[in-house]
Amino acid sequence: MDTAFTPSTLVRIEAAALSALASRLDGTMHAQFLRSVDLLIACGNSRGRILLTGMGKSGIIAQKIAATLTSTGSPAHFLHPAEAIHGDLGALMPGDLVLALSASGETEEILRLLPTLKRKGDALISFTCNLQSTLAAASDVAFDCSVEREACGLNLAPTASTTSMLALGDALAIAVSLRKGFRAEDFAELHPGGKLGRQLARVRDLMHTGEAIPVVAPDAPMIDVIYEMSRKKLGMTTVQRDGRLLGVLSDGDLRRLLESHRSNALEHTALEAMNAHPVTLASNELAARALATLEERRITFLVITDASQRVEGILHLHDLWGLEMI
């Protein structure tokens, strides 16, 4: 490797390319960006599909942009241009929008698709480094993804240019999702698996319910309180009357009671020793919100209640382990 091209130098070249792209989006490409968002929204409203295409490295970036669009509420598909000219172009239907990526704007496989794309498709958006290219001229919107140089000692390997295309695709996908009012709840429904799915799960999907909820009556003696806490193994118990929450008793509450009433601690009732103002949360909240509440309050559990303070479940910090690693 050229000694002048250190790892940090390469990263700075790509960062400079992104900075230049951002400046163009604030200036000369701002109107184009807004028009592209309108076209993408209109495509979805008319039940058309978003198809992305590109060869080589550009094709890989196109696949990632398609995945980002899909995961943020705008279903998109990748159409390989080489396969398209051998039959897969039949996937293109009237009303569809095509987003084509080509650094040169002269990629042979994509140019061979242009007559059909223009005849059947609703709109063509392109990402290219050459606004004088055939692809740019044929596009309804052509974005300038040109870079001063690639982050490559030979200034040949697509690096800074593909990074710019990726960032531009992300910007379009997020702008469209915001315009459509895409919510965290919608994102959660599309990401049910893995750690991300767990973070976006509802509290009701993770909480302890039914017989697993520790509960004592307000007049329960401390021996019964300790027994219930030990039996349910959550380090706490709720104090309820007719299913409604009166307060909670935690391991910490017991320790403080023993420290302040060493001689007669076990003579107290649950009502006398409980915390009457526990932190509660609704069952339809996201798990990420629950974790943030636990960390902010520096507590280990939440009581899940409905609007009338009826206890629906208990959510313990252990139930959320791993979310902070996302």
Place of tokens 């200036």: 27
Q: Are strands 123-128 and 141-144 parallel, antiparallel or unpaired?
A: parallel
What mean pLDDT comes out for the span 11-34? 95
DSSP secondary structure of 269-294: BHHHHSBSS--EE-TTSBHHHHHHHH
Q: Tell me the CA distances in angstroms from 197 to 63, 155, 173, one per residue in order.
A: 22, 41, 20
What mean pLDDT comes out for the span 24-42? 95
CA 35 and chain centroid, separation:
25
CB-based contact 109:81 (threshold 8 Å): yes
Q: What is the pLDDT of residue 263?
A: 72
Question: 7-182 falls under which CATH superfamily?
Answer: Glucose-6-phosphate isomerase like protein; domain 1 (3.40.50.10490)
The span from the CA of 102 to the CA of 104, in Å, is 6
**183 has a pLDDT exceeding 50:** yes
Q: What is the pLDDT of residue 184?
A: 60
CB-based contact 143:29 (threshold 8 Å): yes
Q: pLDDT tens digits, residue range 110-136?
A: 999 999 888 877 799 999 999 999 999
Tokens of 51: 């198809």
The span from the CA of 323 to the CA of 294, in Å, is 12
Helices (H), the chain: 7-26, 30-45, 56-71, 81-84, 108-111, 114-120, 134-138, 160-179, 184-190, 194-199, 203-206, 222-232, 251-260, 270-273, 287-297
The span from the CA of 216 to the CA of 123, in Å, is 65
Strand order in the sheet with 141-144: 76-78, 50-54, 97-101, 123-128, 141-144
Percent of the chain with pLDDT over 90: 64
Q: pLDDT tens digits, residue range 224-269?
A: 999 999 999 999 999 999 999 999 999 999 889 888 877 787 888 9
**15 has a pLDDT exceeding 60:** yes
The span from the CA of 112 to the CA of 215, in Å, is 71
HSE at residue 161, side-chain half, CA atoms within 13 A, is 27
Which amino acid would we find at residue 69? L
**324 has a pLDDT exceeding 90:** no
What residue spans define the domains of the chain?
A: 7-182, 199-325
The span from the CA of 274 to the CA of 237, in Å, is 9
Q: Name the CATH topology of 199-325.
A: CBS-domain (3.10.580)
